[in-house]
């Protein structure tokens, strides 16, 4: 019996697919446990014959591999080669060349590319016996593909059989021109020559074939691109262009989205969780739609000594929280009503309003089957560090209290907003 992981199988598959129609070959190192051969490492070797019907392993690479096995305490358990256009069964040549009855001879047939077949054989005096292969974490039969695993890895099952729409991992809606060109190449070569822009700033490449998935992943990887997350976890981090580009921007949405992406992306949770960042009150990115949304704000501070009581700030304030009494040289500011839009700071001709840029956080928004608008339960915070504290604690809360398949808003409604509010205030007070 041979025990190998799905990943090792995929390594063999990708190597073989990429060399087809030439035969691919390699060695398998591992240990024997309770009579089973447990593969620990797959060695992909050069076929110096470079032929579609036979193979000879590069002697030097073979030597290097065995050396590596020894170093790691592995035994040489067997070898593999591919049959690009014939079934998974040893050819006469294979039988004649087999000299070690203890060795496993694995053959991967790519005859039907939709359904590659890997089998293992022991050959003694030209008599062939088949040996069982057990794949751990996944099945070898491609018809038993684990769709949840694929979905988790960004491959969305399509209406069309064995076709997948590949979602890319993109943060803040930005992708480099070079990466975009790679996406173009992949859509042309493996898809149907078009891409789909998702509703949340990601890109999907539809019509990827099941057997191309691994190759496509590898190709993307070379350009720093990865499949995106789906299912019950933190999804694509969305952001407007923020203060790096937009003249209204009050925070660096792009920088924050990259930090969010690195820290929280694809984190496992009871249900999907959306994070979005918008640069200011104009709310182009609609912070309140997200399970956790961040909006740039500017908290104003009034400096009476600079004020000429012109009345402009009163005229521009959308929250009507400023009253200027020009005759009395007085300005009244109802700070509780302030929505931190920064318009007073921006328009005051004499610099009597100064502002501190900050982050307003909204929790519990969702815009799917059910619609709910995110709520602000915390005062504006002024550092990205504090934002991260809030996000971490919120995710922890959701993980702790959320039921499987329950959106964050519903968890909040069920468990109580006050519990989260209290916990968030505590982590913020911790300094």
312 forms part of the interface with other proteins (CB under 8 A): yes
Measuring CA to CA, how many Å separate 262 from each of 174, 209, 237, 258? 14, 29, 10, 6
- Give the range of 8-16, 260-268, 304-312, 366-374 binding other proteins by CB under 8 A: 304-312
Least distance from other proteins to the Cβ atom of residue 326, Å: 5
310 forms part of the interface with other proteins (CB under 8 A): yes
Of 386, 387, 391, 388, the closest CA to residue 431 belongs to 386
What mask, x for binding ligand SF4 by CB under 6 A, covers residues 348 to 387?
x-x-xx----------------------------------
- Give the range of 120-128, 197-205, 213-221, 241-249 binding ligand SF4 by CB under 6 A: 241-249
Instruction: Count how many Cα atoms sit within 13 Å of the Cα of residue 411 in the half-sphere of its side chain.
Output: 27
With CB atoms as reference, the residue minimizing the distance to ligand SF4 is 279
241 forms part of the interface with ligand SF4 (CB under 6 A): yes
Of 337, 339, 369, the closest CA to residue 355 belongs to 339
Cis peptide before 385 (omega within 30 of 0): no
Residue with Cβ nearer other proteins (110 or 345): 345
The one of ligand SF4, other proteins, none whose footprint includes residue 282, by CB under 5 to 8 A per kind, is ligand SF4
Among 91, 347, 356, 376, binds other proteins (CB under 8 A): 347
Least distance from other proteins to the Cβ atom of residue 18, Å: 56
Three-class HEC string of 256-277: HHHHHHHHHCCCECCCCEEEEE
- Asked if residue 393 lies in contact with residue 424, where contact means CB atoms within 8 angstroms, the answer is yes
Among 327, 385, 429, 431, binds other proteins (CB under 8 A): 327
The one of ligand SF4, other proteins, none whose footprint includes residue 338, by CB under 5 to 8 A per kind, is ligand SF4
Least distance from ligand SF4 to the Cβ atom of residue 374, Å: 15
User: Could you tell me where the beta strands, DSSP code E, fall in 61-162?
Assistant: 75-83, 104-109, 117-124, 127-131, 133-136, 155-157
How many residues in total does the chain contain?
431
48 forms part of the interface with ligand SF4 (CB under 6 A): no
Please list every residue from 243 through 282 that binds ligand SF4, using CB under 6 A. Answer: 246, 248-249, 278-280, 282
Of 412, 407, 414, the closest CA to residue 424 belongs to 412
Q: How far apart are the first and last CA of the chain?
A: 57
- Proportion of the chain in helix, strand, coil states, percent, rounded to 5: 35, 30, 35
Please tell me the count of residues contacting ligand SF4 according to CB under 6 A.
39
Binding site for ligand SF4 (CB under 6 A): 240-242, 246, 248-249, 278-280, 282-285, 300, 307-313, 316-317, 319, 321-322, 324, 331, 338-344, 348, 350, 352-353
């Amino acid at each position: 019996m041979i025990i190998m992981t799905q990943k090792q199988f995929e390594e063999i598959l990708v190597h073989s697919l990429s060399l087809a129609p030439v035969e691919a070959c390699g060695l398998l190192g591992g240990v024997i446990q309770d009579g089973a051969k447990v593969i620990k490492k797959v060695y992909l070797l050069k076929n110096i014959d470079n032929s579609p019907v036979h193979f000879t392993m590069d002697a030097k690479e073979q030597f290097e591999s065995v050396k590596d096995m020894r170093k790691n305490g592995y035994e040489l358990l067997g070898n593999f080669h591919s049959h690009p256009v014939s079934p998974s069964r040893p050819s006469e040549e294979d039988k004649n060349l087999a000299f070690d009855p203890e060795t496993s001879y694995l053959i991967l047939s790519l005859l039907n590319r939709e359904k590659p077949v890997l089998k293992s054989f022991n050959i003694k005096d030209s008599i062939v016996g088949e040996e069982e292969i057990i794949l751990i974490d996944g099945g070898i039969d491609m018809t038993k593909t684990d769709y949840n695993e694929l979905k988790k890895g960004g491959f969305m099952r399509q209406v069309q059989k064995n076709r997948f729409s590949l979602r890319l991992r993109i943060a803040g809606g930005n992708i480099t021109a070079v990466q975009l060109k790679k996406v173009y190449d992949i859509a042309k070569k493996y898809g149907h020559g078009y891409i789909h822009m998702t509703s949340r700033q990601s890109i999907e490449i539809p019509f990827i074939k099941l057997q191309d998935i691994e190759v496509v992943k590898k190709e993307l990887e070379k350009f720093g691109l990865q499949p995106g997350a789906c299912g019950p976890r933190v999804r694509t981090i969305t952001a407007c262009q923020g203060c790096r580009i937009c003249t209204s921007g009050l925070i660096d949405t792009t920088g924050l989205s990259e930090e969010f992406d690195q820290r929280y992306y694809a984190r496992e949770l009871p249900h999907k969780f959306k994070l979005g960042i918008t640069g200011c009150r104009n709310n182009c990115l609609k912070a309140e739609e997200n399970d956790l949304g961040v909006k740039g704000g500017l908290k104003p501070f009034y400096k009476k000594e600079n004020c000429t009581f012109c009345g402009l700030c009163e005229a521009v304030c959308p929250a009507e929280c400023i009253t200027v009494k020009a005759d009395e040289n007085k300005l009244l500011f109802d700070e509780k009503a302030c929505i931190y839009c920064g318009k007073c700071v921006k328009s005051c001709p004499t610099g009597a309003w100064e502002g501190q840029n900050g982050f307003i956080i909204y929790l519990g928004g969702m815009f799917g089957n059910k619609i709910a608008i995110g709520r602000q339960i915390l005062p504006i915070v002024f550092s990205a560090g504090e934002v991260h504290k809030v996000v971490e604690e919120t995710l922890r809360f959701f993980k702790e209290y959320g039921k499987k398949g329950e959106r964050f808003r519903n968890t909040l409604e069920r468990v109580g907003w006050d519990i989260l509010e209290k916990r968030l205030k505590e982590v913020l007070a911790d300094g």
